[in-house]
Amino acid sequence: MSARAARYTSVAIVLHWAIAFAIGFMLLLGFWMHEQAENGNASQAVFDAYQLHKSVGFTILGLSLVRLAWRLINPPPPMPPHMPAWERFAATATHWAFYALMIGLPLSGWLFVSAGWSIHDDAPLAVPTRWFDLVGIPHLFGLDRASADVRGNTAEAAFTAHALMAFAIMGLAALHVVAALKHHFFDRDAVLAHMVPGLRAPAETEAAPKNAGRLAVLGLGAALIVSAAAALMFAVLPALTSPPSAPSTVEIVEAETPPAVEEIAPAEPGAPSAWRVDARSSALGFGYTYEDESGATDFNGRFTRWRADIRFDPENLDASRVVVTIEPASASTGVAAHDSALPGAEWFDAAAHPTATFRTTRIRARDGGYEARGDLTIKGETRSVDLPFRLTIDGDRATMTGSLTIDRRDFGVGAGAADDLISREITINVRVDADRVG
């Protein structure tokens, strides 16, 4: 390990400012993305912003590891001799906390996207991660193949940690700036000048001697940082200026109004209750595997427009029934190439078949839960399918989760060149939160 230099090396300075800009950009973009997600904006521009956010995050991780290694090999300049012990300790602790956060933030983000779970919809949302669309990034710990509970809990914990670390690094950055300005304007020492090229410490009477190699590295580094900043702003501009997409909607078929005899008559004894779906927390999704020469990638999507007529009573399963109507044109995976193809004639042919339906023919208790057998009609083809599901009813609130796997070719979905790239088996995932209305 080399002795302490009088100034930071040019490489350390370039890495410092490159990482500082990237983190500032990521914080602003991250808060904007979170706001869009909270408002239900699922436009292509927002999806592209998420992909950019992940790519810059991995870049920060790489640069931070290089910066840490460089610091260990090239120790920073010594602190001014007038600094008291507590201030030296605070400065050292702040710097190491920065390193922990610079590495921990992208790692927590990596863990979050590896889980492939939407915390806003509480549903699977596996989207592959590629560094600037050049190199595929693997999922950590095989989380994409874990159970729904593991993925959901991991995503929630990772997102919480990511958010807390974002606020922590903002606080540290503010403290860091205030301390640097204090050193320059009040202590009048060289702490700030060590990291800002061309800045002379207040106590210095003459400029440091010029070094051609150092100036070349600083100049090249400045050019790269400015070019990267311009490229990032150009990339994110469409997302910031595009109008938000319409939020996902769930259309509900209202319960039939009972006949009026003076006042509203009670429902016929023993008749199944009608249930109104809670659009905020319900989801109808699907999963598939895309495989090409680079390997297999699991994708998850959802239908954003569907409606349900639910009449259910666990004590009267014979009379219970469910009819779900789906608009295939609303299929969304977050991948532009897939989303533009799905409504087409080769896939859902939404123009000729604007709706798909699932109508139960029997509901029975099975294996500690329930099973709904019904007719699933997609693209004009009808097949009998079984949907096992779990159900909890708490007063007038019910939560149902279930999934089934179908062969898309049974319904004539998928043809042409892309057919061999998409798995035949499609998993349909259902989560319904509903309130009793009669």
Give the total residue count for the chain: 438
Burial of 113 (0-12, 13-18, 19+ CB in 10 A): buried
Task: Please report, in tens digits, the pLDDT of each residue of the chain (438 residues total).
Answer: 444 556 789 999 999 999 999 999 999 999 888 887 776 565 666 777 888 999 999 999 999 999 999 999 998 888 888 899 999 999 999 999 999 999 999 999 999 999 888 777 676 666 678 888 788 888 898 887 788 789 889 999 999 999 999 999 999 999 999 999 999 899 888 888 888 888 887 876 666 667 788 889 989 988 999 999 898 888 877 666 655 544 444 444 433 333 332 332 334 556 788 999 988 888 899 988 877 655 677 778 889 899 999 999 999 999 999 999 999 999 988 766 677 778 888 889 999 999 999 999 999 999 889 999 999 999 999 999 999 999 999 999 999 999 999 999 999 998 764 567 788 999 999 999 999 986
Q: How far apart are CA 335 and CA 319, in angstroms?
A: 41
Q: How far apart are CA 112 and CA 116, in angstroms?
A: 7
Determine the pLDDT at residue 421. Answer: 74
The closest alpha carbon to 300, from 274, 334, 264, 327, belongs to 334
Output DSSP code: residue 204: -
Determine the pLDDT at residue 112. Answer: 93
Determine the pLDDT at residue 246. Answer: 45
Determine the pLDDT at residue 255. Answer: 38
Kind of pairing, strands 260-261 and 263-264? antiparallel
Output DSSP code: residue 83: -
First to last CA, the chain: 76
Burial of 256 (0-12, 13-18, 19+ CB in 10 A): exposed
Instruction: Specify the pTM.
Output: 0.61
Q: How far apart are CA 126 and CA 287, in angstroms?
A: 9
Q: Would you say 410 and 381 are in contact if contact means Cβ atoms under 8 Å apart?
A: yes
Output DSSP code: residue 142: G
Determine the pLDDT at residue 144. Answer: 74
Here the tokens at position 332 are 């969304």
* All domains in the chain, ordered by first residue: 10-241 (no CATH), 251-436 (2.40.128.110)
The closest alpha carbon to 369, from 402, 340, 396, belongs to 402
In sequence order, which residues have a C-beta less than 8 Å from that of residue 375 and are 6 or more positions away? 357, 358, 359, 361, 382, 383, 384, 385
